[in-house]
Amino acid sequence: MAKNSWATSWKHMRRTPYQALAASLVMTLTFFVASVLALVTLGSEQILKYFETRPQVTAFFADTATPDQIENLKVAVDSSGLSAGMKFISKEEALAIYREQNRDDPLLLEMVSAEILPASLEVSAVKVENLPQLAELMRQAEGIEEVVYQPDVVEAVARWTKSLRIGGGVMMAIFSLTSILIIIIIVGMRIAARREEIEILRLMGASNWYIKSPFLWEGAAYGVGGAVLAWGATYILLLYSTPFLLDFFGTIPLLPVPAVIMVSLLGIEVIAGLMIGGLGSLIAVSRFMR
């Protein structure tokens, strides 16, 4: 029965290829946008996590700071419950970092020694909202010369990620609704064009499922086909963009995208395509075959 229904659906699509092409293009565009938005959202989440785990507040110690004052600040930060981690950098370590960053400029290396570089304590916050409290706590400690923190980057990424979720959700709702309407129109046109054939089948005693199933299979085929094509296009685009993205994002661990994520994305899109195509054709069948 299913084989016959699918054969009938395929015959319908071949007889009106332009309608089938229009439905396939709309579904492909919908899922292409969905794929890109999904990958961009996942990437934004990774970028946000990366910046959240970087040292976000740095306290520079005065040259007169004692080991006890340094240790007291470590204890105060740790006991506050606001920090996710901390790292103490001595004068010698600061010099080693400076030399590594400026190893191609001998003149700068000659001008700096460990004595003129301050020791520092780098702290990452549990939440971005904790940064002002951490900074104030460190400013009040003895032996501190300066406290520096730049929440702008993390806050900007957080706002971007939130806006992307909302905007992406609205966009996908619009595209999905458009896809369903296109499926309804095309399947409805199929039913209208074969109304006499449908009446003959009913007079011959054909079951409702036998009559309706080819149209349901057709809608599902548009959805699944569009999902697979969109996923393939997205994957090819990602492969071609990877060298540029690696250079652009540098040390942020975004690429390559794990295979499990791409396979999961394909599975989700195929299921969504089946649901969207099936829903559109089901509405059309219910409306035009009363």
User: At 123, which CATH number?
Assistant: 3.30.70.3040
Position of tokens 């199933």?
A: 213
Q: Which residues contact 136 (CB under 8 A, 6 or more apart)?
A: none
Q: Is 125 in the same domain as 251?
A: no
Q: Which of 134, 149, 164 is the last residue of a domain?
A: 149
Q: Is 96 in the same domain as 202?
A: no
Q: Is 62 in the same domain as 139?
A: yes
* Cα 191 to Cα 195: distance, rounded to the nearest angstrom: 6
Q: Is 215 in the same domain as 141?
A: no
Residue type, 221: A
Task: Give me the tens of pLDDT residue by residue for the chain, a chain 290 residues long.
Answer: 455 555 666 666 666 677 778 888 888 998 998 898 888 888 888 877 777 666 578 889 988 888 898 899 899 988 888 888 888 998 888 878 877 777 777 665 666 666 778 889 988 877 777 778 888 888 888 888 888 876 666 677 777 778 878 888 888 888 888 888 888 888 888 777 777 777 777 777 767 777 777 788 888 888 899 999 999 999 999 988 888 888 877 777 777 888 899 999 999 999 999 999 888 888 888 876 66
Q: Is 41 in the same domain as 185?
A: yes
Q: How far is CA 147 from each of CA 133, 134, 137, rounded to the nearest angstrom?
A: 12, 10, 10
* Cα 16 to Cα 14: distance, rounded to the nearest angstrom: 5
Q: Which of 101, 133, 149 is the last residue of a domain?
A: 149
Write out the residue range of the structural domain in which residue 122 sits: 57-149
Q: Is 132 in the same domain as 231?
A: no
The count of structural domains within the chain is 2
pTM higher than 0.75 for the full model?
no
* Cα 152 to Cα 251: distance, rounded to the nearest angstrom: 19
Q: Is 218 in the same domain as 109?
A: no
Q: Is 6 in the same domain as 92?
A: no
Q: Is 41 in the same domain as 177?
A: yes
Q: Which of 87, 114, 149 is the last residue of a domain?
A: 149
3-state SS, 234-245, equals HHHHHHHHHHHH
Q: How far is CA 27 from each of CA 147, 184, 204, rounded to the nearest angstrom?
A: 53, 13, 36
pLDDT of residue 32: 92
Angle at 150 between CA 53 and CA 63, to 5 degrees: 95
pLDDT of residue 182: 86
Q: Is 275 in the same domain as 165?
A: yes
Q: Is 114 in the same domain as 160?
A: no
Q: Is 180 in the same domain as 256?
A: yes
E strand map for 30-176 = 57-61, 83-89, 120-125, 144-149
